A and B are shown apart, each in its own frame.
Chain A
C-alpha cells in the first residue's frame, strides 16, 4: 500500500495492524471487492435493508423545531426508526452477510453506547452466528439497557476493565480476540475506523443514509438542501450521510464532535479539533495524544462518542476543509436532548443531540427559506437513565 493506493484518504487510513491479522484483512478486502460487484450480494443486502431494517427511513420535516429555532427549515433523516433504533444496523447486516459469504461462523464486535453491540447481536441471532460483544465495563453500567438486550439476544458480553474501561479498550480487546480466532471469526467493526478495508466497507454500507436523504429531499423540494449535519465519534453515521453530498459543493457539511467538559486533555473527545496525526487500532488518523505519543483517555457524556480517534476519512475531510467540524459540550448536548424531545416529540440519542446543537447554530446563520438536514443517528431510549441521573446532579 502507498499514499495514493486504496485504503488511504489523503495521508490518512492504511493498514497498520499486527501481522497475524493481515491475511484476514486481505481476504476481507478481496471478498468485499467481489461482493461489491455481485448482483446476488446487492440483492440480498437490499432485501434485508427493506424487509428487516425497515428502510428507507423517513425524511421528516421538523415543523415545530423549525419554528422554535426560527431559522432554516429543519429536516430529520430518521435512522432512529430503523430496527434496533440506530444507523448501526445498516453496517451490521452488511458485514454479517460478508462474513457469511466468507464462511465465518462467529462474529465479534466492540461497542461503546451499545447500539453497535445490539445491532451485531441482532444479526448474530438472525443469521444463527455465535456472537461475542466487547464492551467497556463503564459502558456496561451506563448503557445497561443495551447490555441487557445484547445478552437477551443470545450474544455474550465480555466487559473490559482495562484502562478507562470504555470504547478504546473494548476495541483493543476485540482486535486481540480476532488475532486469536482469525480463521473462524469475522470482526464487525462498528465505525468507519480500523485498518483498511474497514473504513471503506463501513462507509459504503452506511452510504445508504445519505443516498436516501438526498433523493428524498430532492423529490419533495426539487433541489438539494443548503446544509447537512451529523455527529462524529468514530464517524459512521456521519460518513454515511456525507458521502452522497461531498461533490455538491454548494451543500455545506457540518460534523459535531464531543467537546465534553472542556478543552483540557481527558475532558473531551474532540479529535478533529485537538487531535494530532498518529496510529491507533490499525489506522493512521487524528488522535488525541500527549506529547510523547501516548493516547489520552477521551470523555463524552455520550458513550458512543467517547473515542480518542476518528475515522481516517473524517481526518481527511477536516484537513481538506470540505467539512466544518465543531465541538459541542456535554451540557450543550444535554440541553438539546431535552429541547428536541419536548419540541418535536422525538427522543434522540445523546450522540445525535450533539448534532442538533450544531444544527441550531447553522439554522440561525442560514436564515429562513433555507434547508438543513440532520442525521438523527439513533433514538435515545438507551440514554434516558443516564440523562435523568445527570439532570438530577445538575439540579442539586
Chain B
C-alpha cells in the first residue's frame, strides 16, 4: 500500500501540510539542511522540486529558484544523493518529487523510478504530463509496480468529464490548483474554492490537497479547514531566495515559517 494512503488513513492528521522547495537552490548541500529543517518543524509530506530549465507552470519565485539551482551542475546522481540524505533524517515522512516530464523521459522512466524509490520518494507530480497521454499511462503502470503514486493536478478549469476520467490513474492525493495561472503567492482565491474541493472529494475517492498561491498562516488555517492538505511552495522559496546567501539565517527563517504554518493547520 502507498505510504501516502497510509498517512491519510492513519487518522493522525486532519489536514496535511505539504511544503515544497527546489533542490539545488542555492546549492545541493544546503538543500539537505533545508529539507531536514522543514521536516523537523512539521511537514507531513515533503515535495522536492527537481529543477527543469523551462518550468512553464511556475511563477517568478520558483522560476528564479530553478535558475539559481541550474547554475550548479545538474545531475540526477546529485538529486538522488540529496533526496536520500533528507529521507534518512525522518523516514516516516513521505517524499514526493515535482518536476516536468522531459528530465524523467530523458533519464528513462524505469531507471528514474528505481532510483527515486531507492532514495525514499513515494510519488510524483508532473505539471506538464496530462493523464490522457500514452506516457502518463506507462508511468502510472510503472509507479504501481513500485507502490508509488501518480499525483494529478486538477484545476478550476478542469471539466467534470476530465475529472471523472482521471480517477482511473490517480493515486496518493489530488493536487488541486486553487487559482488560474502559475505558482506564486496570492491574496485572494476563487470564491467557489470550498465548493470545488467539496465536489472533488465527492467525485474522487482521494484526499484533495490545495496548492498554488497559499502563503500566510491565515490562508493555511482557513483552507485546511475544508481541504485534506495544503501545499506551499513559493513562500518557502522566497525565504530561501532572500536568506539563502546566509545559511544560518535562512535555516532559522525557514524553521520559524514552517512552525507558524504548522500551528495554523488543525
**Which of A178-186, A265-273, A352-360, A369-377 sits within the interface?**
A178-186
B100 in the interface, Cβ–Cβ < 8 Å?
A: yes
Q: Please give, as numbers and ranges, the residues of chain A lying within 8 Å of B133 by CB-CB distance.
A: 1, 14-16
Q: Please give, as numbers and ranges, the residues of chain A lying within 8 Å of B130 by CB-CB distance.
A: 15-17, 19, 22
- Taken residue by residue from 169 to 186, chain B's Cβ proximity to chain A (1 for < 8 Å, 0 otherwise) reads as 000000001001110000
- Most B Cβ at <10 Å: residue of A18, A175, A182, A183: A18
Contact B63 A19 (CB under 8 A): no
**Which of A123-131, A144-152, A292-300, A319-327 sits within the interface?**
A292-300
A3 in the interface, Cβ–Cβ < 8 Å?
A: yes
**Which of B9-17, B48-56, B217-225, B249-257 sits within the interface?**
B48-56
**Which of B103-111, B194-202, B240-248, B258-266 sits within the interface?**
B103-111
Q: Please give, as numbers and ranges, the residues of chain B lying within 8 Å of A21 by CB-CB distance.
A: 157
**Which of A80-88, A222-230, A232-240, A275-283 sits within the interface?**
A275-283
Give the complex CA separation of A176 and B56 in angstroms: 6
Q: Please give, as numbers and ranges, the residues of chain B lying within 8 Å of A392 by CB-CB distance.
A: none
| Of the residues A20, A162, A278, contact of B177 by C-beta under 8 Å | A20
Q: Please give, as numbers and ranges, the residues of chain A lying within 8 Å of B134 by CB-CB distance.
A: 1-3
Contact A23 B101 (CB under 8 A): no
Contact A172 B56 (CB under 8 A): yes
Contact B177 A281 (CB under 8 A): no
B206 in the interface, Cβ–Cβ < 8 Å?
A: no
| Of the residues B63, B128, B156, contact of A18 by C-beta under 8 Å | B128
Contact B54 A293 (CB under 8 A): no
**Total contacting residues, chain B, CB less than 8 A:** 42
Contact B153 A294 (CB under 8 A): no
Give the complex CA separation of A172 and B128 in angstroms: 12
- Taken residue by residue from 126 to 154, chain B's Cβ proximity to chain A (1 for < 8 Å, 0 otherwise) reads as 01111011100000000000000000111
A window 248-305: CB within 8 A of B: 276-282, 287, 289, 291-295
Q: Please give, as numbers and ranges, the residues of chain A lying within 8 Å of B181 by CB-CB distance.
A: 20, 176, 179-180
B74 in the interface, Cβ–Cβ < 8 Å?
A: yes
B window 55-92: CB within 8 A of A: 55-57, 59, 63, 67, 70, 74-76
* Interface size class, chain A: 35 or more
Contact B157 A22 (CB under 8 A): yes
Contact A175 B56 (CB under 8 A): yes
Nearest neighbor of A295 in chain B, beta-carbon distance: B53
B window 107-126: CB within 8 A of A: 107
Chain B nearest Cβ from A186, distance in angstroms: 15
Give the complex CA separation of A230 and B100 in angstroms: 33
B155 in the interface, Cβ–Cβ < 8 Å?
A: yes
Contact B157 A292 (CB under 8 A): no
Interchain Cβ contacts within 8 Å, total number: 117
B162 in the interface, Cβ–Cβ < 8 Å?
A: yes
Give the complex CA separation of A295 and B51 in angstroms: 11
A window 95-131: CB within 8 A of B: none
Chain A nearest Cβ from B220, distance in angstroms: 22
Chain B nearest Cβ from A110, distance in angstroms: 12
Chain A interface, DSSP helix/strand/loop, else mixed: mixed
Q: Please give, as numbers and ranges, the residues of chain B lying within 8 Å of A17 by CB-CB distance.
A: 56, 128, 130
Contact A19 B103 (CB under 8 A): no
A214 in the interface, Cβ–Cβ < 8 Å?
A: no
| Of the residues A162, A172, A291, A293, contact of B102 by C-beta under 8 Å | A293
Chain A nearest Cβ from B59, distance in angstroms: 7
Q: Please give, as numbers and ranges, the residues of chain B lying within 8 Å of A73 by CB-CB distance.
A: none
- Taken residue by residue from 129 to 169, chain A's Cβ proximity to chain B (1 for < 8 Å, 0 otherwise) reads as 00000000000000000000000000000000011000010
| Of the residues B53, B101, B106, contact of A163 by C-beta under 8 Å | B53
Nearest neighbor of A26 in chain B, beta-carbon distance: B159
Give the complex CA separation of A181 and B54 in angstroms: 20
Known contacts A16-B130, A162-B63, A292-B74; A279 and B105 CB within 8 A of each other: yes
Contact A19 B158 (CB under 8 A): yes
Nearest neighbor of B73 in chain A, beta-carbon distance: A292
Contact A282 B52 (CB under 8 A): no
Nearest neighbor of B158 in chain A, beta-carbon distance: A19
Contact B56 A279 (CB under 8 A): no
Contact A294 B74 (CB under 8 A): yes
Known contacts A3-B134, A23-B158; A279 and B53 CB within 8 A of each other: no
- Most A Cβ at <10 Å: residue of B67, B106, B158: B106
Q: Please give, as numbers and ranges, the residues of chain A lying within 8 Å of B102 by CB-CB distance.
A: 278-280, 287, 289, 293, 295
| Contacts A20-B157, A176-B181, A293-B52 known; 19 new A-B pairs at CB < 8 A | A2-B134, A15-B130, A19-B152, A19-B153, A163-B67, A179-B56, A180-B182, A181-B180, A183-B180, A276-B106, A279-B101, A280-B54, A281-B56, A282-B56, A287-B102, A292-B103, A293-B107, A294-B103, A295-B54
Smallest CB-CB A-B distances: 10 pairs: A293-B106, A180-B181, A293-B103, A20-B155, A295-B53, A18-B57, A294-B53, A279-B102, A23-B157, A19-B153
> A residues within 8 Å of B by Cβ?
1-3, 14-24, 162-163, 168, 172, 175-176, 179-183, 276-282, 287, 289, 291-295
Sample (28) of A-B pairs whose CB atoms are under 8 Å apart: A1-B133, A14-B133, A15-B133, A16-B128, A17-B56, A18-B56, A18-B127, A18-B153, A19-B130, A19-B177, A20-B157, A22-B157, A22-B158, A24-B157, A172-B55, A175-B56, A176-B56, A182-B180, A278-B106, A279-B102, A289-B102, A292-B74, A292-B103, A292-B106, A294-B51, A294-B70, A294-B74, A295-B102
